[in-house]
Amino acid sequence: MATVAESRAVRPLPLRWRRSYGGELWAEFFGTFILICFGDGVVAMLWALIGSGRTVGTKTALLGSGDWLLITWGWALAMVFAIYTVGGVTGAHINPAITLSAALRKQLPWKKVPTYWIAQVVGAFVGAALVFAVYNNAINHYDQINHIIKGQPNSLATYSTFATFPAPYFHNVAGPFLDEVVGTFFLALFVCAVTDEYNQPPTGNMAPWIVGFIVMAVGISFGANSGYAINPARDFGPRLFAWAAGWGKVAFPGDYANISTYFWIPIVGPLVGAAIASFLYDLGIKDILMARRGPEPGVEAEGRTVQDRPAGSAEPGVFGRGETVDDRPDDRLSE
């Protein structure tokens, strides 16, 4: 009988794509899928709470601010567990804006950016489809008791299960665009900080929790204006699904009473915000950290190593100017 080691040597490794670039794309797809399942899922829970009789009324689950806190906590935890699941493969970008930030900071080859983006959008689309499959009855029940017709302007509430929309007090794209830029700026800035080995990165495998709290902080402080997409895939993938599922122009191109053709705002705004954050972090924080950092062990403050010292000045046991044991004459080998 062959041993385990022998069987491994004989049998080829199955699914070799897992060791290739395909494994990275799968991780980005699956991580974004998890993010949307729990992020969109917490919004869908509001309709389920109402329809299941677990709330007092039939209009709202937790009375305004309570709804919003539930949503921000849900998205925070969605981010935490998505990162824990796939972070060991790619670092869990699960957000085209973070992928752009990584490329701008030379942490990811530019040639990988388009395929990462595609994987993230597809993962978000599939995640939205699963949420719809689980909560379709609850969504339809809410629409029925409130006389909502899917695809009409009054279906905005249930459409928002999947993607974002601007607050009604905006009458042009400037306000929502700025909101998405600012929200994603802080998200990307803080992600740069907590993943920077020169700064104070979290220890004890706590980084996913810190990133989750970053998402929650953005939602609490900058969320209501435009729904804090802060992630082009998180909005565009579920938006396309909502369009296909019957919400029509409310979903895509995003025509609302106050703003039309809104779909591009949660795409471009986050990309701009992440780009600005990447530039400012490297210029204003990382360059300072590197400049203030002491020399590596074994390297002198002037940047000279022991090999650069003048002959005869080497420390005891260290040969001058890069001389090794093998470089010495035979009559010195016995020293």
* Mean pLDDT, the chain, whole residue set: 86
Predicted model pTM: 0.82
Confidence of residue 199 (pLDDT cuts 50, 70, 90): very high
Residue 313 lies in a domain: no
- State the average pLDDT over residues 320-328: 44
Residue 144 lies in a domain: yes
- Check the CA dihedral 156-157-162-164 and report its sign: positive
Per-residue model confidence (pLDDT) at position 335 = 44
Residue 310 lies in a domain: no
In a domain, 334, yes or no: no
Q: Render pLDDT for 273-311 as a digit per residue (tens, 0 to 9).
A: 999 999 999 999 998 998 888 665 555 555 444 455 454
d(CA 149, CA 194): 45
What is the band of 3 on the pLDDT scale with cuts at 50, 70, 90? low
The CA distance from 215 to 186, in Å, is: 9
pLDDT for the residue 295: 60
The pLDDT score that the predictor gives to residue 319 is 39
193 and 213 in contact (C-beta within 8 Å)?
Answer: no
Summarize the confidence of residues 115-120 as an average pLDDT. 98
3-state secondary structure string across 264-322:
CHHHHHHHHHHHHHHHHHHHHHHHHHHHHCCCCCCCCCCCCCHHHCCCCCCCCCCCHHH
Q: How many domains does the chain have?
A: 1
pLDDT tens readout for residues 144-197:
988 999 999 999 999 999 999 999 999 999 999 999 999 999 999 999 999 999
Q: How far is CA 16 from CA 36, 167, 301, in A?
A: 28, 48, 47
Cis status, amide bond into 253, omega within 30 of 0: yes
> Does the residue 298 lie in any domain?
no
Q: Can you give the CATH number for the domain in which 261 is found?
A: 1.20.1080.10
Which residues, 6 or more positions from 15, have their beta carbon under 8 angstroms from its beta carbon? none
- The reply to whether 268 falls in a domain is yes
